[in-house]
Amino acid sequence: MKLIRTLGLATAALIVSTGVQAEQKFINVLTGGTSGIYYPLGVALSQQIGKALPESKVSVQSTKASAENLNLLQAGRGEVGFALADAVSDAWKGDAEAGFKQKLDKLRGVAAIYPNYIQIVASEESGIKTLADLKGKRVSVGAPKSGTELNARAVLKAAGIGYEGLSKVEYLPFGESVELIKNRQLDATLQSAGLGVASLRDLASTMKIVVVPVPADVVEKIGDSAYQQGVVPANTYEGQTTDVPTVAIRNILVTHEGVDADTVYAMVKAMFSNMDAMVAAHSAAKGIVLEKASTGLPVPLHPGAARFYAEASKAAKQ
């Protein structure tokens, strides 16, 4: 017994003297559906974090995206997650209708990243060419309470249609929505994602599609500064030969106050030091700009992220 006790004390002393931590850090990256953009970017981010923090165990979790990610972060069940700016704003306010029963006051900002584009895509045979044509049609609006679904509510309401104006509303992830359109069980899908999302590329390669425009006056009627005018450039998808006006919303990388500053600093630095790897994972990452990353966040910036941006700003001036 004396020998065991002596060894235990020696081990404890070794941990203290060498700075080795008894507990391994776990970093869970919260993303979205595997056919969207959050997931491949989350995988790429996790790989860079793993290299920067080799003593940590880094994992990637596929989720229903924005609202679920934010609720998981508030509960301490993730260390960093992707979410749309409007969902983050709703979470910070505690908007129950948006899926947040109370103010998620533990959320902290990491970075404003690439913009999402609300892409309303219909099969050509459905006859849908405008927002008004969606009336009486079968439309998928994204997983329930996801960022996409919250965007769908806002856009359809501003267009004077609302869910009640549709003949059928499906609450499905991107990939499943596309499969139903292929099978003629749906007419259109609204997907809030970066340009060139895999699900819509797949649909366009299978059948003729129409990217439905969202005019500037509809964007203005939404009445939320998180929603800005955007464009789906010509040839983003097969058969789409002209630019299509739509809505753009910035994505946010979010953490919570319980994640220590050194870890968040390392995560942000790992991402911006390896942007080639992020872009290789998905071209939407081209929209991640260091100079804009700390601005316009709907939640307080995490101290670890603030330290990184202060150092980056100082280095840029030298």
What does the pLDDT read at residue 300? 97
What does the pLDDT read at residue 145? 77
What does the pLDDT read at residue 100? 92
Set out the domains of the chain in order of their start, with CATH numbers: 25-113+251-317 (3.40.190.10), 116-249 (3.40.190.10)
The pair of structure tokens assigned to 99 is: 């899926």
Greatest alpha-carbon pair distance for the chain in Å reads 84
What does the pLDDT read at residue 318? 85
How confident is the chain (318 residues) per 10-residue block, as mean pLDDT? 43 41 80 92 98 97 94 98 94 90 97 95 98 98 88 96 97 95 98 92 97 97 89 97 96 97 98 98 94 94 98 93
CA 142 to chain centre: 13
What does the pLDDT read at residue 23? 61
DSSP string, 193-260: ESTT-HHHHHHHHHS-EEEE---HHHHHHH--TT-EEEEE-TTSSTT--S-EEEEEEEEEEEEETTS-
- Residues 148 and 175: beta-carbon distance below 8 Å: no
What does the pLDDT read at residue 224? 84
